[in-house]
Amino acid sequence: MSHTILIVDDEPKLLDVLSGMLEQMDYRTLTAESGGAALEVLERDAVDLVLCDLRMPGMGGRELLAEMRSRGHTAPLVIMTAYSSVRDAVAVIKEGAFDYIDKPIELDDLTATLSNALRLQDALRDNARLREELEGKYRFDTLIGVSPAFQKVLRAVGEVCSAKTTVLLTGESGTGKEVVARAIHFNSPRHEGPFVAVNCAAVPEPLLESEFFGHVKGSFTGALTNRVGRFGQADRGTLFLDEIGDMPLALQAKILRVLQDRTYEPVGGTQSKTTDVRIIAATNRDLEKMVAEGTFRGDLYYRLHVFPIALPPLRDRREDIPLFLERFLAEFGPALGKRGLSFAPDAARALAAYSWPGNIRELQNCVERSVLSARGGAIGAADLPPDIAQAPGRRPDRDLQFPMDLDAECANFERSRIVAALRQTEGVQVRAAEILGITERSLWHRIKKLEITVSKGVEGN
């Protein structure tokens, strides 16, 4: 789409010349012979950039810039000025003009300046649009759930949004902890600031300190430039520490210091930096048990455990499953070219009976795969992943056989799910971990513990 440029100058001949030059460069042009006329154009037309003479009778470029900003016009302004007025042009730039070009105007200078200004303007508009989309995506009314268990979560989120309080989100993998974290951020006074997420389990241990605090050039092999860490990136915003239970003890002490006094030192640095961040941490592990075992610092735990919110697993909020199915069908159907799909009764029964160990993430993946598999206007049980379509319903308590070996039962259940995921992904552990809703490292540990032989066929020993 062609950009529209408003040219403002009290010399009609110059307006004609500039307008012709810019139209040859595929710009759409509008003209005005005074600052007042330019404001009238801005009120009725969408303008991407203003090219304005610095000195004009009545309202010059400086005054026009001030009036534009007071009326909410955000288009960049480029000043045209004679060499003798360069100092005044620089002063206007300090007040918010994008740049200036000298008269007589050189075509190359004009082309480069306009291109830079419009590229920046387009980037700012894209950022604003993306921010609006993000804020819309994480409004309170996008958090799905009518079940009592999730309504309790919503009440807690509503209570903590407006504060700077540290929040600890707990719950199984796939229960939507990051979605809730983003909702807290985008509904808080910090929503204009950055939301920075870091998965503590996904960063290699030798790089963790640099990841969080940044480093200075030359501080270690490969540190070719200065780097801003996550705490610096999240300044005046929110830092989301996902899988914090997997953070090494040595780094926990440094994170504790930041929580206590909001200062840190980049790797290799000698001066402390301050940060104004809100911390939201999340874990699927039992931090209290880890504290008792000595694998998680107690002082850090209590710093994080200021406002805990426990997210229920999907099996404890089955009333919400139809809402998720509707949402995911509306998302994946059009994206995959299959509008108007619904779930047949046999599929709905299978989905309701399934235990969803991977929670919402597993349900989302299931719907996407089912949409792809569907051949008619309804998704039947045959279109569901086999482990879900064939899963038996929940057995009543009276059918359970006691005594039992509960550890063995749990291990068998875990093994069967992992083997099914590995078979579905043909032994690709990264994809298997994703559909199970756990980290690749966690999957590797479970495979080793359960003595599962991983190959293209996959064998459960």
CATH of the domain at 258: 3.40.50.300
pLDDT the model gives residue 287: 95
SS3 255: helix
* Ranges of the chain whose pLDDT falls below 70: 1, 83-86, 127-142, 391-404, 455-461
pLDDT the model gives residue 120: 85
Residue 353's contacts (CB-CB under 8 Å, 6 or more residues apart) are: 391, 392, 393, 394
Q: How many CB atoms neighbour CB 130 within 10 A?
A: 10
| Residue given tokens 């029964």 in the structure block | 349
Residue 22 structure tokens: 């810019």
Rounded CA-CA distance 301/213 in Å is 20
Half-sphere exposure of 375 (CA within 13 A, CB side): 3
Residues 283 and 415 occupy one common structural domain: no
Distance from the Cα of residue 190 to its chain's centroid: 15
Residues 403 and 285 occupy one common structural domain: no
Residues 373 and 409 occupy one common structural domain: no
Residues 361 and 243 occupy one common structural domain: no
pTM: 0.61
Q: How many CB atoms neighbour CB 454 within 10 A?
A: 17
Residues 292 and 195 occupy one common structural domain: yes
Q: At 79, which CATH number?
A: 3.40.50.2300
pLDDT the model gives residue 1: 45
Residues 149 and 282 occupy one common structural domain: yes
**DSSP E strand boundaries for 321-405:** 342-343, 378-379
pLDDT the model gives residue 277: 94
Residues 285 and 321 occupy one common structural domain: no
Residues 74 and 147 occupy one common structural domain: no
Residues 54, 85 contacting (CB under 8 angstroms): yes
**DSSP E strand boundaries for 109-231:** 167-170, 195-199
Residues 419 and 360 occupy one common structural domain: no
Q: Which residues of 238-252 are buried (b: 16+ CB within 10 A; e: fewer)?
A: bbbbbbbbbbeeebb
Residues 127 and 226 occupy one common structural domain: no
Residues 410 and 367 occupy one common structural domain: no
Structural domain span for residue 275: 140-312
pLDDT the model gives residue 239: 96
**Of 133, 155, 188, which residue is a domain's last?**
133
pLDDT the model gives residue 461: 45
How many domains are contained in the chain? 4
pLDDT the model gives residue 270: 78
Q: At 414, which CATH number?
A: 1.10.10.60
**Of 312, 331, 357, which residue is a domain's last?**
312
Residues 8, 35 contacting (CB under 8 angstroms): yes
**Of 133, 157, 176, which residue is a domain's last?**
133
pLDDT the model gives residue 286: 94
Residues 211 and 345 occupy one common structural domain: no
